[in-house]
Amino acid sequence: MDLIYFSPVPWDSYTQRPHEFVKYLAESSPVEKILWVNPFPTRLPRANDFRRRPDLVSSKSKKKLPFLTVLNVPCFPLEPIPIIKHLNDLLWKNVKTQLLNFCLDSEDQLILGIGKPNRLGLWLLNHIETKITIYDRMDEFSQFYSGLSKIAMKSWEQQIIKRVNRVMVSAQHLASNISHLKSEISVVENGYDMISLPLPQKENVTSHEPIVLGYVGSIAEWFDWDLTIALANKNPDCIIRLIGPCFVRPPVLPDNVELREACPREEIIEQIRLFSIGIIPFKINPLSQGVDPIKFYEYRGLGKPVLSTQFGSMPDHAKQGGVVFFEETSLEECVSQSLSVSPTLLEVEQFRKASDWSTRFAKISTWIK
């Protein structure tokens, strides 16, 4: 059995759900070859595309699977434009041949997975016959786009959902607005490779050590700067430490806010261990409502309490404890309230077991038998 996977993120990026999905299939099924298709432009250019983008850091310890090949797709950023988009078909001639040859070599023993809607993936879906086709809806992708790009993304996604025989989503919210397209949708929440995390350390905070409110991950249009600045101003004795690639121009920040560049996963883990509280100050909008943040699993897997806004899957996570919402407490009291819900070692152990990727993807094990 072989696998073609259209990924929403490059292989050489920070390990995320797509990497773990492919790893799970490789380890739990007789997959012999994997063709990982790196993402390519699916929207029209924006003005900020021409600004220097922050460097994305890969994991130092991530190893390429020996039977995995990465396919880079040449593409003009014209996909949403009718007629003109077919210029890419000329660029894709060799790519399509490579995809079809891979399918032929698989002799009908093929899994086709799509992690982000795109026209090339839809084309392949309509040109091959295979028993296992999977769409993993891990974001409200059209909310990232506008205009023609948004219309095109919605159209590709709807066609893919109707065509594949299996659909899974990372959050219940992502299932509700496509249920009219597919009757059976599996909710496979995000998780983490918990075995890779060190055991949480017992906090030893003295009066001489400042409380660190830490954030890891991308900082983009969904990040709430106003809330973060207000949090810093109301808690001047705390350090607000933001670590990750910044895709927007930050405002003037208070002195107790640190903005640090992205670093490898191994260093991120060590940084989180220094946090007193993990924060997720996201704006609440249609984009964030479909999000189940991986950083939540990093924070909780390392035994940190979480201070967050009530977006996406966070209200469901709060039912398990260890979460305080900005909306339900004052900025002056949120720090002490968060520290008061720090999970016990037993709670961390139970969380790790339930949230490991192997547990999450076990829900779809029957799909590939």
The 10s digit of each residue's pLDDT in 318-338 is 999 999 999 999 999 999 999
Same domain, 203 and 320: yes
Mean pLDDT calculated for residue range 80-100: 95
In a domain, 213, yes or no: yes
pLDDT-based confidence at residue 52 (cuts at 50, 70, 90): low
pLDDT band at 203 (very low <50, low <70, confident <90, very high): low
> 137, 154, 188 — which closes off a domain?
188
Bigger pLDDT: 167 vs 199: 167
Contact 321, 352 (CB under 8 A): no
The answer to whether residues 181 and 84 belong to one domain is yes
Give the pLDDT confidence score for residue 209 in this predicted structure.
84
Q: Is the dihedral of CA 232, 235, 239, 244 positive or negative?
A: negative
Mean pLDDT of 293-319: 97
pLDDT of residue 51: 62
Q: Are strands 33-37 and 110-114 parallel, antiparallel or unpaired?
A: unpaired
**Residue 165: CATH number of its domain:** 3.40.50
Same domain membership, residue 326 and residue 307: yes
Name the β-bridge partners of 221: none
Q: Give the residue carrying structure tokens 């003005």.
A: 47
Separation between Cα atoms, residue 144 and residue 153, nearest integer Å: 10
What is the average per-residue pLDDT within 198-215? 80
Domain that holds residue 21: 2-188
Residue 286 domain-assigned? yes
CATH label of the domain that carries residue 225:
3.40.50.2000
SS3 annotation, the chain: CEEEEECCCCCCCCCCHHHHHHHHHHHHCCCCEEEEECCCCCCCCCHHHHCCCCCCCCCCCCCCCCCEEEECCCCCCCCCCCCHHHHHHHHCHHHHHHHHHHHHHHCCCEEEEECCCCHHHHHHHHHCCCCEEEEEECCCHHHHCCHHHHHHHHHHHHHHHHHCCEEEECCHHHHHCCCCCCCCCEECCCCECHHHCCCCCCCCCCCCCCCEEEEECCECCCECHHHHHHHHHHCCCCEEEEECCECCCCCCCCCCEEEECCCCHHHHHHHHHCCCEEEECECCCCCHHHCCCHHHHHHHHCCCCEEECCCCCHHHHHCCCCEEEHHHCCCCCHHHHHHHCCCCHHHHHHHHHHHEHHHHHHHHHHHHC
Amino acid, res. 350? Q
- Residues 9 and 53 reside in one and the same domain: yes
198 and 173, same domain (yes or no) = no
Give domain status of residue 230, yes or no. Answer: yes
Q: Cα–Cα distance between 45 and 48 in angstroms, integer?
A: 8
Mean confidence (pLDDT) of the chain = 92
**Number of structural domains found in the chain:** 2
pLDDT at 55: 59
Confidence of residue 141 (pLDDT cuts 50, 70, 90): very high
Tens-place pLDDT, residues 54-86:
655 655 545 678 799 999 999 999 999 988 889
Indicate whether 72 belongs to any domain: yes
Least confident of 45-49, 217-221, 333-337: 45-49
Q: What is the pLDDT of residue 35?
A: 98
Q: What is the pLDDT of residue 265?
A: 86
Average pLDDT over residues 40-50: 83
Average pLDDT over residues 161-168: 97
Are 131 and 202 members of one domain? no
Rounded CA separation 278/241 (Å): 10
Higher per-residue pLDDT: 355 or 55: 355
* 151 and 33 share one domain: yes
Is the pLDDT confidence value at 101 over 90? yes
Calpha distance 201→281 (Å, rounded): 25
Mean pLDDT in residue range 277-284: 98
In this structure, are 20 and 144 located in the same domain?
yes
Q: Is residue 348 a part of any domain in this protein?
A: yes
**Boundary (domain end) residue, out of 188, 211, 233:** 188
Residue 118 has pLDDT above 60, yes or no: yes
**175/205 same-domain check:** no
Q: Percent of the chain at pLDDT above 90? A: 80
226 and 146 in a common domain: no
Q: Are 138 and 175 in contact (CB under 8 A)?
A: no
Q: What sign for the dihedral angle of Cα 288, 294, 299, 301? A: positive
Residue 363 maps to a domain: no
> Considering the domain boundaries, does residue 359 fall inside one?
no
Question: Are 182 and 206 contained in the same domain?
Answer: no
| Confidence band, pLDDT 50/70/90 cuts, at residue 345 | very high
For residue 366, is it within any domain?
no
Torsion over CA: 244, 280, 204, 199 (sign): negative
- Final residue belonging to a domain, choices 188, 213, 240: 188
pLDDT at residue 356, rounded to an integer? 97
Does residue 300 share a domain with residue 153? no
